[in-house]
Amino acid sequence: MDATRLTCLTCGQANRVPLARLDQNPRCGSCGDPLIPGKPADLDAAAHDKVTKRDDLPILVDYWAPWCGPCRMMAPEFAKAAKALAPKVRLAKLNTQDHPEVSSRAGIQGIPALILYHRGREVAGLAGARPAADIVAFVQGKLGARA
């Protein structure tokens, strides 16, 4: 496979990106936003479902809520991990308070919770607030050479 399928985290448009261009800041063909922003993107229910079920590039989703102290404490660490893992893995956040149906479908029982998805399936999960180094090590450990 010489191209990868990526859903734009801003507009939801499906894009095909040549593998050789993943590290060249590819942009959405529809809205022009970066497809691999190097920072966590906020997901709504529709974007969550598209990106976790259809994308070829791994994505790590942080299920969180604004009232959760550990979630807020982990946010800067999650952002550092996003920079470290780009362009091979994208990171995103889903507010469980705004989208309880999604967190219920994902089986989230406590937050913060991280779930790594790749090509339509859940690869692994990690519970609790973590420093960036732990998040990066978790992803690399689960994906091996791909991360």
What domains can you pick out in the chain, each with its CATH number?
A: 38-146 (3.40.30.10)
| Strand order from edge to edge, sheet including 41-43 | 41-43, 90-95, 59-64, 113-118, 121-127
What pTM does this model have?
A: 0.93
Catalytic residue among 11, 28, 31, 68: 68
Determine the pLDDT at residue 2.
Answer: 87
pLDDT tens-place string over residues 70-112: 999 999 999 999 999 999 999 999 999 999 999 999 999 999 9
Determine the pLDDT at residue 146.
Answer: 60
Catalytic residue among 8, 11, 31, 71: 71
Mean pLDDT of 115-124: 95
For this structure, is 8 an active site residue?
A: no
Q: Using CB atoms within 10 A of its CB, is residue 56 exposed (0-12), middle (13-18) or buried (19+)? A: middle
For this structure, is 31 an active site residue?
A: no
Residues in the chain: 147
